[in-house]
Amino acid sequence: MSIDPRKIPTTGQETGPTNPYHEPLDRQGAKLDEHTLNEVRELPKRFQPGSRSAVMPALDLVQEELGYLTPAALSQVAEALQLDPGYVEGVATFYTLFHLQPVGKHHFYVCDNLSCQLAGAEEILEHLKHSIGVREYGEVTGDGFFSCEPVECLGACEYAPVMRHGHRLHYDLTPVKIDELLAGLRPNSFLDRREAVERPRTARREPRTT
Ligand code: FES
């Protein structure tokens, strides 16, 4: 069972920022371009009954565009959908699939709920961390390519252990399957590495495969 550290109440006495959405203006992060903003404005027409129903698909667009949800982009979404910024922030912080901090170009969500735990999710997570070379969940590799985190049930318990990468689920995971997947994703050219270093502005939208 994973605990989202963002949801742990703070005492107000910590040093340093405790809530990235209350950062000073000069640290609000990247903004959406006009094209994406227009897409956001169109969403309420497709997701009835209105703007509130469009928040999650809008945040999905932001994350695909910028790599994570910056405070500036959240403000833009609230304005584009004519919603209270607090409501948009509440949705963004409630779901662990939305990121408030940068993640790797390839971010892996490994289910660690009961069925997956019984099928070896712990071993998968440890193997994945070791293979990509990070010590902590949420840590991004030096080249910006990989990061991972444990998440709640991904809704495919009968195929446990399960992991999500992009819009695709990977089933019946084993360390060997993890290695094969990583081998196909590892940066192997100068251009790949440069693209990773330039994230998050260079994040590319990948076609949905599921
Ligand atoms: S418990 Fe892992 S997918 Fe449901």
Count of CB atoms situated within 10 Å of the CB of 88: 27
Q: How confident is the model at residue 14 (pLDDT cuts 50, 70, 90)?
A: very low
What residues does each domain of the chain span? 20-94, 106-195
Confidence of residue 30 (pLDDT cuts 50, 70, 90): confident
CATH code: domain 20-94 is 1.10.10
Give me the architecture of the 106-195 domain, per CATH.
3-Layer(aba) Sandwich (3.40)
Distances (CA, A) of 85 to 27, 60, 95, 111: 17, 16, 16, 30
Q: How far is the CA of 171 from the centre of ligand 1 (A)?
A: 10
Query: How far is 62 from 59, CA to CA, in rounded Å?
Result: 5
Q: At residue 56, does pLDDT exceed 90?
A: yes
Mutate to test the pocket of ligand 1, among 118, 157, 159 (most ligand atoms within 8 A of CB): 157
* pTM greater than the 0.75 cutoff: no
Q: Which of 151, 162, 169 to mutate to test the pocket of ligand 1 (most atoms within 8 A of CB)?
A: 162
What backbone phi and psi angles, to 5 degrees, belong to 168?
-115, 140
* 182 within ligand 1 shell (Cβ under 6 A): no
Instruction: Look at strands 163-165 and 106-111 and give their pairing.
Output: antiparallel
Nearest-atom number in ligand 1 for the CA of 159 is: 3
CA dist., res. 141 & res. 130, Å (int): 11
Please give the Cα distance from 51 to 19 (Å, whole number): 25
Taking residues 161-172, what's their average pLDDT? 94
User: How many CB atoms within 10 Å of residue 5?
Assistant: 8
Task: Output the CA 124–ligand 1 centroid distance in Å.
Answer: 13
Q: Tens of pLDDT along 122-165? A: 999 999 999 999 999 989 999 889 999 999 999 999 999 999 99
Q: Is 154 a pocket residue for ligand 1 (Cβ < 6 Å)?
A: yes
